[in-house]
Amino acid sequence: MNDLSPGSVPSPDDRAAKLKGLGTSRKRVEDARFTQGKGNYVDDVKLPGMLFGDFVRSPYAHARVKSINTEAALAVPGVLAVLTAKDLEPLSLHWMPTLAGDKQMVLADGKVLFQGQEVAFVVAEDRYAAADGIEAVDVEYEELPVLTDPFKALQSDVVLREDLDPEADGAHGPRKHANHIFLWEEGDKTATEQVLSEADVVAEEMVYYHRTHPCPLETCGCVASMDKINGKLTVHGTFQAPHVVRTVASLLSGIEEHNIRVISPDIGGGFGNKVGVYPGYVCAIVATIVTGKPVKWIEDRMDNLMATAFARDYWMKGKISATKDGKITALSAEVTADHGAFDACADPTKFPAGFFHICTGSYDIPVAYVGVDGVYTNKAPGGVAYRCSFRVTEAAYFIERMIEVLAIELGMDAAELRAKNFIKADQFPYTSALGWEYDSGDYHTAWNKALEAVDYEGLRKEQAEQVEAFKRGETRKLMGVGLTFFTEIVGAGPVKNCDILGMGMFDSCEIRIHPTGSAVARLGTISQGQGHATTFAQILATETGIPADSITIEEGDTDTAPYGLGTYGSRSTPVAGAATAMAGRKIRAKAQMIAAYLLEVHDDDVEFDVDRFVVKGAPERFKTMKDIAFAAYNQAIPGVEPGLEAVSYYDPPNMTYPFGAYVCVMEIDVDTGQYDIRKFYALDDCGTRINPMIIEGQVHGGLTEALAIAMGQEIAYDEIGNCKTGTLMDFFLPTAWETPNYITDHTETPSPHHPIGAKGVGESPNVGGVPAFSNAVHDAFRAFGLRQTHMPHDHWRIWKTAHDLGLHG
Amino acid sequence: MTKHQVTLTVNGSSETIDVDPRELLIHTLREKLDLTGAHIGCETSHCGACTVDLNGKSVKACTMFTVQAAGADVTTIEGIASPDGMHVLQESFREHHGLQCGYCTPGMITRAYRLLQDNPAPSEEDIRFGMAGNLCRCTGYQNIVKSIQAAAAQMNAAQEAAE
């Protein structure tokens, strides 16, 4: 099989190029089906006899449910059943556990706690009949006082969660009020207060990160199908964590886990919205068991925005101290976290405020304290990580605002203040005051590269000139330079301290090499647009020497994929990517034994060379991976089992810490509140880069979600708990028209503990982008005395800021 | 509810279906004709995931009754490719990474197809304005604009070569 003529052997570089492995901007294998309308999303799933279920939802934010009359609904043509809490109670399914240690009503049990809450589930022959049925369900409510402000909720006599014993501890310790969920603390409070009280300079500010929503273009949904003959339940759904859904479904329903198959088909974006378990899934499963027919539930957009998985809503009271020359000495954050009616965050169990204590950011801060109070209000439940690792974007926004406020207090340039306090390259691995071990970084290099790229000094000069021109009345526009240097914490996470519902947050990959040298690999994660089928094949190509084009990646079917915790929190590359590399190495280790046998040398006398094993010192003697794969299946090799397969479950030793430097240059019209993003420069360091094209795409997308959040997107309520932003008319998603072009750049500091050094990137641009946009708005008004104003910075709020600063004469 | 018999041309073939007067075109296409390429994203005409081409105009099929489309000539994403292969736009979106989760992509390409019929040499501004009825949550549009620009250039070059 070997051609030994030297001239015919392609060079290692040529052979590596053919693999399309790590570092290649490989075109995506997913695109052929998506561009031709042949994707398979959950609403495309059509099963014989399938029914359609939909919810009667509460119009009130807080009310007692006096009665539910379903008689008229059941008479509507096409309506087959109407489920209420009374129907679910005998099955103990009228409530369900949340991922955060709380419980949540599946259907209203005596009262409703937020507008849009699920009250009854109508099952009908099609979605039109279901809508007719919903109209005919008669629910009698008695309105109760509404609490939408978390600070007032902690003072109020109105008890929202009457199901909880006010004296008993919650899932995360003592509760200090009936509407209090937990107090979660980290760091040294006494020492921090001591330093703050004695400091040269202290800046204090309330930083609010408003409530928003991930709003993927595809809403949540599922198709549940019970096969009563073989006792098997199949659920297709928009699940970011299909294995977790299977385990939860088994625990809730009592159906043994091997009889449940959960399938995540193509998912139309997730961004954290599709991590949790929603009442729709439970009701569809109950409905298929009751009717014996498949039942589909698909949210409409209003359901999605009103009821499933909001994000943020953190009131962060910060104090930061420094010496006169700008060396930071302490940081304190006291957070009031509005969780809505049920604590349905999707955080690792031991972290009720997620990884918010990454809030010392990129800075070497000697002492710090964080205290987070979780509070119930009459708003939708959630608190999911919207395109960020758990509460990391809140943390990054907090510290990057506090740095700006401190710069004002010190009368210092904010870029200089950052550089003065960065953790230095030789301090890594660095343990923060709040207990994280940062794996690697070179912040000064990245920062200097960014400032040079945008001509930072030139920008400041131009800005100062514009302020003078404004004061002379020559222009009505101001220029803002929004700086951000962020450090993320992703890749949850080590099983010793990270779990979801008791499931350790490892991930997995299983590889089978076929006799002819192609392969299939299955993972515990699930792509929602990240291009896993493209990039994980690249990792394997480099590890095993099999071309990426000859490797099929499969995810999302719990009957075939190994157990994994799914895709969110930028964990796929750090955890499943590591599992993939490790499984590839197991393949290679066996391949080495086979190659040595075939070449009649000792195992140690062959070495891996791109796509083959060669005899050391005799490169003309080799066996390609293709040769080896065939031999694995057709030769009896002493001491070696036939076949070429491997599986790896990877428990990461640490998180990864991607970082980046962003600069946003914005021009603001003081009289209209309109803004123009003149330039946005984004430098990301995500460690080893697997596919630069996909990284750049992720950065563009994440920055646009950041633009949305910072500049207009919010879930807003009126004082009686009406959700004012329930459609895309009111909820801001930027169009191509409002979105700027971005300049992307990078440095590359590999993670020392990850098998290939990759850190993950999908969420960095959202985490870093929000403060960059917001800081630009703040910076534009710095010369006129603005310290802190709240997002989102829509045209009205910018105009109001200018007005309040007296800039309208 | 009285059914209405509606005949329309979809991707070149004549289809006759019985529908309720309230049935939306997107449901007819997706559920009766099994053309699931166009998607539903908002039900309020904002997101454009349901965009189809109807009598030479881009139409959001989630807010049009099927009975309104009686006699119309409809092209969906499934009808954009020719028997010889993918449309230039479909190739270009792949080449320039103009998609991620793929949910907006059929509507995006169907809209771009009409945009380039109306304006074969659009500026970046023309594209951004012309595509503003189609939302994408993944790409930030930069590579969508690039994909459309590249497709326009390629189509124009092919046109010139033919002349």
Asked if the model's pLDDT at residue A104 lies above 60, the reply is yes
Q: What percent of chain B has pLDDT over 70?
A: 100
Instruction: Calculate how close chain B gets to A682, using CA atoms only, in Å.
Output: 14
Beta-carbon contacts of residue A140 (< 8 Å; ≥ 6 apart): A65, A66, A67, A68, A69
Q: Chain B neighbours among A 604-633 (CB < 8 Å)?
A: none
pLDDT of residue A6 exceeding 70 = no
Of residues A252 and A34, the one with the higher pLDDT is A34
Structure-token pair, residue A459: 């920008």
Question: What's the rounded mean pLDDT across residues B92-117?
Answer: 98
Mean pLDDT of A161-181: 95
User: Shortest Cα distance from B96 to chain A (angstroms)?
Assistant: 8
Per CB-CB distance under 8 Å, the chain B contacts of A301 are 41-44
Instruction: Give the strand pairing for A180-187 and A79-83.
Output: unpaired
Phi and psi torsions of A336, nearest 5°? -110, 115
B102 pLDDT higher than 90: yes
Using the beta-carbon criterion (under 8 Å), do A739 and B142 form an inter-chain contact?
Answer: yes
Sheet holding A79-83: strands in order across? Answer: A79-83, A118-124, A51-57, A295-298, A221-227, A232-237, A260-263
Q: What b/e string do you get for B85-124 counting C-beta neighbours within 10 Å, with b at 16 or more?
A: ebbbbbbbbbbbbbbbbbbbbbbbbbbbbbbbeeeeebee
Strand partners of residue A272: none
Residue A724 in contact with partner chain B when CB distance is under 8 A: no
Model confidence band, residue A8 (pLDDT cutoffs 50, 70, 90): low
For residue A220, what is the nearest residue in chain B, using CA coordinates?
Answer: B41
Q: What six digits make up the tokens of A33?
A: 């089906």
Active-site residue set of A: 240, 387-388, 763
Q: How far apart are CA A364 and CA A418, in angstroms?
A: 10
CB A371 within 8 A of CB A352: no
Residues of chain B neighbouring A269 (CB-CB closer than 8 A) = 100-101, 103, 137-138
Do residues A254 and A286 touch, judged by C-beta distance below 8 A?
A: no
Contact (CB, 8 A) for A659 and A686 = no
For residue A501, name the pLDDT band (cuts at 50, 70, 90).
Answer: confident
Interface contacts (A, B; CB < 8 Å): 176
The answer to whether A209 and A766 are in contact (CB under 8 A) is no
pLDDT above 70 as % of chain A: 99
What is the ipTM metric for this complex?
Answer: 0.98
Residues on chain A touching B31 (C-beta within 8 angstroms): 46
User: Residue A113 — very low, low, confident or very high, per pLDDT cuts 50/70/90?
Assistant: very high
Q: Report residue A1's pLDDT band, with 50, 70 and 90 as the boundaries.
A: very low
- Strands A63-69 vs A310-322: parallel, antiparallel or unpaired: unpaired
pLDDT at A639: 93
Residue A223: partners with Cβ closer than 8 Å, 6 or more residues away: A42, A45, A47, A50, A235, A236, A237, A284, A294, A295, A296, A297
Question: A35 vs B129: CB contact, 8 Å cut-off?
Answer: no
Average pLDDT of the segment spanning A449-457: 98
Q: Does B38 touch chain A (CB under 8 A)?
A: yes
Residue A349: both structure tokens together: 């169990």
Closest-CA distance, A562 to chain B, in angstroms, reads: 23
**Mean pLDDT of all residues in B1-11:** 95
Give the pLDDT confidence score for residue A459 in this predicted structure: 98
**What integer pLDDT is reported at residue A569 of this predicted model?**
83
Question: In chain A, which residues have their Cβ closer than 8 Å to the Cβ of B142?
Answer: 700, 739, 741-742
Instruction: Tell if the CB–CB gap between B77 and A41 is shorter than 8 Å.
Output: no
Q: What is the spatial distance between Cα A44 and Cα A66, in angstroms, rounded to a whole number?
A: 38
DSSP letter (8 states) at residue A471: H
| Residue in the block written with tokens 């590999």 | A750
pLDDT at residue number A346: 84
Of the pLDDT bands very low, low, confident and very high (cuts 50, 70, 90), residue A723 is very high
Task: Round the average pLDDT of chain A to a whole number and report it.
Answer: 96
> Cα(B19)–Cα(B30) distance, rounded to whole angstroms?
13
Q: Which of A35, A705, A737 sits opposite B94 (nearest CB)?
A: A35
B interface mutation test: which of A33, A40, A50, A217 has the most B CBs within 10 A?
Answer: A217
Cβ-based contacts of A271 with chain B (< 8 Å): 137
Helix-, strand-, coil-residue percentages of chain A, each rounded to 5: 30, 25, 40
Nearby residues of A361 by Cβ (< 8 Å), 6 or more positions away: A395, A396, A399, A400, A403, A485, A486, A487
Q: Does A704 touch chain B (CB under 8 A)?
A: yes
Q: Residue A558 has what DSSP assignment?
A: T
Q: Could you give the CA distance from residue A559 to residue A681 in angstroms, rounded to a whole number?
A: 44
Do residues A451 and A459 touch, judged by C-beta distance below 8 A? no
Residue A217 to residue B135, Cβ atoms within 8 A: yes
The answer to whether B103 contacts A218, with C-beta atoms less than 8 Å apart, is: yes
Of the partner residues A698, A704, A737, the one whose CB lies closest to the CB of residue B129: A737
Minimum-distance CB partner of B36 among A44, A696, A729: A44
pLDDT in tens, A475-485: 999 999 999 99
Q: pTM higher than 0.80, yes or no?
A: yes
Residues A507 and A576 sit within 8 Å (Cβ to Cβ): yes
Share above pLDDT 90 across residues of chain A, in percent, rounded to a whole number: 95
C-alpha distances (whole Å) from B77 to each of B10, B23, B37, B74 are 11, 21, 6, 10
Mean pLDDT of A73-84: 98
A515 CB within 8 Å of a chain B CB: no
Nearest to A37 by CA among B89, B131, B138: B89
